[in-house]
């Protein structure tokens, strides 16, 4: 992947070779992560006049890079492909505002003292403020078919992809609030939703369970696991195994929704900022973490909404909070 390095390139007067300037490593704001929250925070911080760096990671763009069409991000009447939204529209808008984007991965941070530091394998970056926008990844079943049929019938977000599956039979895997909520939501579109859970009782809240159990379109498959996903160009069949009897069965379906939880990308911040028992960033006040000058935005703290547009909204909020924090810090120093 081509890197937009933090280095500025000076053109020599005689049109000779371009000599990279010394790498810039000190910024007003360092944003870790380049999904909708990171890019939005970049746009707002740069536009507010702050010298801003986004460390995008090795695979910039967040979860939407693995998505096909995005129909629910405002401003695109006919929808937009996920990679185009992230890698072209948001990234270029951010760069036009003046954000420096480095396609490198943060491997360590030091928030124990000022200046706040973010380290990659080769550089040490300093920021007067940091925005953590590293997102979360949906847990996977670990089946080969998840890779083969990603964006071709296998989905990790019913709100995002449900409307693509009108009048089809669908499978949802999981037994928590997400799975039950997604199964219920999907009955708006599907003819039947098969909810496959590995145990014989749901983890979801009672009210959600009751709603799902009274929905005639939802069929429960207890003590069961999806063991294979089959199809030609897209998902056509899902193989189930009863974990008590080892009996196998097949379902002819148009899609498989995996809803077995998410993992926030916060390993880097363990022992540096407060995380909850599942690893999500705990916000102390608005987008502030427990460390002064360190903020968080998007799926890295949000386990409820998890949409591109809500992540973008959180990115905006974090940038506004950073502006207030930096302005007040500057006032204190005067
Ligand atoms: P979760 O509560 O961790 O539930 C994950 C479910 O997936 C569990 O039923 C688990 O089975 C199952 N599972 C995990 N790994 C699996 C695997 N490898 N194969 C098959 N099944 C597997 O996750 P969640 O449902 O995403 O919810 C996360 C948090 O968000 C919860 O606190 C939840 O209350 C909250 N949430 C709230 C709402 C709402 O209030 N509207 C909506 C969504 C989520 P076991 O039960 O056997 O462990």
CATH code where residue 305 lies: 3.50.50.60
Last residue of a domain, one of 258, 279, 299: 258
| pLDDT value, residue 156 | 92
- What is the rounded distance in angstroms from the CA atom of residue 55 to the CA atom of residue 261? 26
Query: Total domain count for the chain?
Result: 2
1 is a domain residue: no
- Residue 177 Cβ < 6 Å to ligand 1: yes
Residues 50 and 64 both lie in one domain: yes
Last residue of a domain, one of 258, 288, 314: 258
Last residue of a domain, one of 226, 258, 290: 258
Mutation choice for ligand 1 from 140, 176, 204, 224, CB with most ligand atoms inside 8 A: 176
Structure tokens at 75: 């401003």
- What is the rounded distance in angstroms from the CA atom of residue 224 to the CA atom of residue 243? 5
Mutation choice for ligand 1 from 136, 143, 175, CB with most ligand atoms inside 8 A: 175
pTM over cut 0.85: no
Q: Provide long-range contacts, Cβ within 8 A and 24+ apart, for 141-148.
A: 141/173, 141/226, 141/258, 141/260, 143/226, 143/227, 143/228, 143/229, 144/229, 145/228, 145/229, 145/230, 145/231, 145/235, 146/229, 146/258, 148/229
**Residue 11 — pLDDT band, cuts 50, 70, 90?**
very low
- Residue 190 Cβ < 6 Å to ligand 1: no
Residues 120 and 269 both lie in one domain: yes
Q: How many CA atoms lie within 13 A of 36 on its CB side?
A: 23
CA of 259 to the centre of ligand 1 (A): 7
Helices (H), the chain: 36-47, 82-83, 91-97, 144-148, 158-161, 177-186, 206-213, 308-333
**Residue 22 — pLDDT band, cuts 50, 70, 90?**
low
Residues 153 and 210 both lie in one domain: yes
Q: Which residues on neighbouring strands pair with residue 231, listed in sequence order?
A: 235
| pLDDT value, residue 9 | 33
Give the orientation angle of helix 177-186 with respect to helix 206-213, to 10 degrees. 30
- Residue 175 Cβ < 6 Å to ligand 1: yes
Residues 70 and 131 both lie in one domain: yes
- Residue 141 Cβ < 6 Å to ligand 1: yes
DSSP label of 85: I
Residues 267 and 215 both lie in one domain: no
- Residue 264 Cβ < 6 Å to ligand 1: no
Residues 245 and 303 both lie in one domain: no
Residue 309 predicted with pLDDT over 50: yes
Residues 166 and 215 both lie in one domain: yes
Residues 242 and 123 both lie in one domain: no
């Amino acid at each position: 992947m081509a890197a937009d390095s933090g280095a500025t390139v000076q053109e020599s007067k005689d049109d000779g070779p371009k000599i990279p300037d010394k790498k810039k490593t000190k910024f007003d704001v360092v944003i870790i992560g380049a999904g909708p929250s990171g890019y939005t925070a970049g746009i707002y911080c740069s536009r507010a006049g702050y010298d801003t760096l986004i460390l995008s990671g090795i695979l910039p763009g967040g979860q939407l890079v693995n998505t096909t069409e995005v129909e629910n991000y405002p401003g695109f009447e006919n929808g937009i492909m996920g990679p185009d939204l992230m890698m072209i529209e948001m990234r270029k808008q951010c760069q036009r505002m003046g954000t420096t984007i480095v396609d490198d991965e943060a491997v360590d941070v030091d928030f124990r003292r000022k200046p706040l530091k973010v380290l990659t394998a080769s550089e040490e970056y300093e920021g007067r403020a940091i925005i953590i926008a590293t997102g979360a990844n949906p847990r996977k079943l670990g089946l080969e078919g998840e890779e083969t049929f990603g964006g071709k019938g296998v989905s990790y977000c019913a709100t995002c992809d449900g409307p693509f599956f009108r009048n089809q039979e669908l499978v949802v895997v999981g037994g928590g609030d997400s799975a039950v909520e997604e199964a219920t939501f999907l009955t708006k579109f599907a003819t039947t939703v098969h909810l496959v859970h590995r145990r014989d009782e749901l983890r979801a809240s009672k009210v959600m369970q009751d709603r799902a159990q009274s929905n005639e379109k939802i069929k429960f498959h207890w003590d069961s696991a999806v063991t294979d996903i089959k199809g030609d160009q897209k998902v056509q069949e899902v193989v189930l195994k009863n974990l008590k009897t080892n009996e196998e069965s097949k379902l002819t379906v148009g899609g498989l929704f995996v809803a077995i939880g998410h993992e926030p990308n916060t390993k880097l911040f363990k022992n540096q900022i407060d995380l909850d028992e599942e690893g999500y960033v705990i916000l102390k006040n608005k987008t502030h973490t427990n460390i002064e000058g360190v903020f968080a935005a998007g799926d890295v703290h949000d386990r409820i909404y998890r949409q591109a547009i809500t992540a973008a909204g959180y990115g905006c909020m974090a940038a506004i909070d950073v502006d207030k924090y930096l302005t007040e810090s500057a006032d204190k120093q005067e």
